[in-house]
Structure 1
Amino acid sequence: MIKMANIELIRKLHFVECRSIRQISKDLGYSRQTIRKALEQTEIPKYTRTVTTKMPAVDSVKPLIIQWLKDDETAPQKQRHSAAQIYRRLVSEYQFTGGESTIRRFVRQLKLEWNLLTPLASIPLEYSPGEFAQFDWGEVIIELNGVEVKCMLFCIRLLYSRKIFVKVFPHQRQEALFQGHMDAFNYFGGVPKTIVYDNMKTAVKRVLEGSKREEQDAFIQFRSAFLFDAQFCAPAKGNEKGQV
């Protein structure tokens, strides 16, 4: 059975580079019938949820972390909490079961929002129309039927025109990721050649050496249907996509 990554390659060679079925068959060693089947592969992947996800462990301790950091503002420098110290306190005093990296990310996010940290500088680049876009998820609290609910913001921006598309979803699973992209492409009136992402699990199965990634099959299938490339930031280098 032909792999999804090879189906994507065949479709790009034909539809983007305008190679004939005969030439692709000769270059890749697949039969012409196999090439034709790959070119007909335009199905959008469907996501089937099999496991109910629990509320992230960090959500239950966010108010506590916020209070500790606010108290630190009036405390002597040496008595202020580091992310590691916050994690150790949560484990020893509150039986926290989440990971330390989760706490570090949340603490850094808070300090950036409170202007206690300076984001890393990014070198501005020039882009051609339709060449690049950047994507990211954000969080927003909305009031739904009188109850505050945390939702996810799907955000994608074209780097040449700076045109932006934003949509609210109740989660950031694959079905939201794919639907958001399709709505954005319809709004933009086209598909960017390359979209820049972080290493989200809905797209990346495994981070390999350098810029190489083992992508999720469903994500490859989705990209293959719309014929765009994905570029991923280095781990923990979200500043590489500073437009979203």
Structure 2
Amino acid sequence: MLTIHDLFHQGKSVQEIAQELKISRTTVRKYLKHPEAVLSSSRPPRPSKLAPFHEQITRWVTQDHCTNCEVIFVRLQKMGYTGGISILKEFVHPLRPAVAGHAPVQRYETKPGDQVQFDWGEFVYEEAGVLRKYYGFVAILGYSRMRFVTFVKRCDTPTLIRCLMDAFEYFGGLTRVALTDRMKSVLLEMVENQPKWNPRFADFMVSIGVSPRVCKPYTPQTKGKVERSVSHVKTSLWAGITFTDLDDLNRQARAWCERINTRVHRTTHVRPVERLAEEPLLPLPADFAWERFATEERKVSWDGYVSYDGVLYGLPGPLHLAGNVVLVRERKGVLTIWSEGKRIFEIEKRPRSQESVPHPDQWTTVPSVSAQRRTPAPVGHLQPAPDVANRSLQEYDQYARIEPVQEVLA
């Protein structure tokens, strides 16, 4: 109160006093009008609604590297947070790591139905104290910004093709061009400035009528849409995610895609699902022309198992296929095994590695090991000796016409 009167006597206005003391003009007028009033001390700060969640937010940002405030905000609401997002952003901002600088680039927009960009990302998770990883396949349509994400155990060419098939099915059609970087599953090498494509990948792209394109070396900005999408998946979906197995993880990824694709995009200012209707995508191939690309060759072990994605699947019946090559087709979580154009059987794919799934009829006609060991043992035959007649020596002499020798007397 004394300070207010002192500043007032120095000729300062009510507004100047309020600004200097950081109080309202009403408060200044109150104490100038009533000198007997005692200026109360500053009010104690009200407890923040975010305060009970500070420790959890810090763990998400510093340990799980989740810095997307919209994602954190949704998680906090599920935990009972009733505050706003602005105070959350103020708390998270100093916890974020410094962002490295980027070179300026010119944005390139594609025409509707013209281009899809795709790429891989490595996603680390912890299992029983051990760090492991999955590979995340991310695809985005250049015009509508529709995004697709799926997680797999490997990133070889057959898996890449299956992921592309899933992405095209999710989008509802094919684009004219597919752009990615120079991964070995796509491009083997450049010979005199001409691409030497991976044969299996080239067969797939030619058959479905999509032209493959690769970026120039060390210029990932060329496919900046999918580069940013991979980064967004890591910071938005992956950071702090919990899942029981690969199937559960992909269910969450599909739900995330549905949610992201219905939000207004920051660049286009339109929801991707609404812009998708403007993309004249080409129709998908039908039947065998499409399904044949989901097939891989596998060799049957001598005990009647086929190994696929770290899981052993037993084959039914006799082991006539042991040591031979069969075809394994994976589509929509189901494995189908073929041999010489005939379907052997189908089985639901197991999401966890290191499993063994024997078939109930796997060894029904196979003899036991002990029987197999007894069979090749050599066998001999014991016969009785022939009967021999006893004859005197004189009979043999007669047959030989030998005269008996006369004994000479002395």
TM-score by length of 1: 0.50
Q: Which has the larger radius of gyration?
A: 2
The TM-score, its normalising length taken from structure 2, stands at: 0.30
Q: Which has the higher contact order (CA 8 A, sep 6+)?
A: 1
Q: Whose helix fraction is larger, Structure 1's or Structure 2's? A: 1
